[in-house]
Amino acid sequence: MTTLLAVRHGETRWNAEGRMQGHLDSDLDPSGVAQADALGRRLADERIDAVIASDLGRTLATARGITAHTGHAIRTDARLRERHLGIFQNLTGTEAALRHPADWRRFKERDPDHDLHGGETLRQFSARCVACVSELAALHPHATLLVVTHGGVLDVLFRHTTGLPLAAPRTFTLLNASLNTFEITQGMWTLLHWGDIAHLGVRDAIDDV
């Protein structure tokens, strides 16, 4: 059995603006820095055998804020990146709807095969993320892994574990600096805890990618 502590990065400037990041990046804002620090203090005395992060700046900054308290080295894996959002990257939802109305409609409908004109389809993105985490679990049996990643990655891991289809409306939250716990045993995934932000004291998060 592998225990996976999956964490969404802290709040960024673009999160606060409602601007879609995808493979682009923006810095953690002061709230995001504080969120990473609070999560690090919470995890300081927990068993963690390895820390693996997406190679994007916002996840690395979050991982550094955590490991300042836990003392772990950080490994990176590009497969833990957010979905490539193609023509929507660097746009707000309002801008995307005005500039690309047909594509925005398909995006909001969660069309699994919509490639966003240079981005990834939901189906491709889900396969990438699930394959990455499955490989990490196989390489680290009986370990507890801290994975610092993105809201979209958490979305597809939740769906893979619970059987919620990719095209189904989201029925759960994606919170900045949240702690989400899975167990993976011989390819079987179990969700133990979701959206835990007790370390933040308040619901200090923005629910987007």
Write the Ramachandran bin of 118: left for phi over 0, alpha for psi from -120 to 50, otherwise beta: left
Do strands 188-196 and 179-185 pair parallel, antiparallel, or not at all (unpaired)?
antiparallel
Closest CA relative to residue 154, chosen from 50, 55, 80, 57: 80
135 labelled catalytic: no
Q: Which of 11, 82, 114, 150 is catalytic?
A: 82
**Residue 31 DSSP symbol:** H
Length of the chain (residues): 209
DSSP states of 42-91 as a string? HHTTS--SEEEE-SSHHHHHHHHHHHHHH---EEE-GGGSPPP-GGGTT-
150 labelled catalytic: no
Active-site residue list: 9, 82
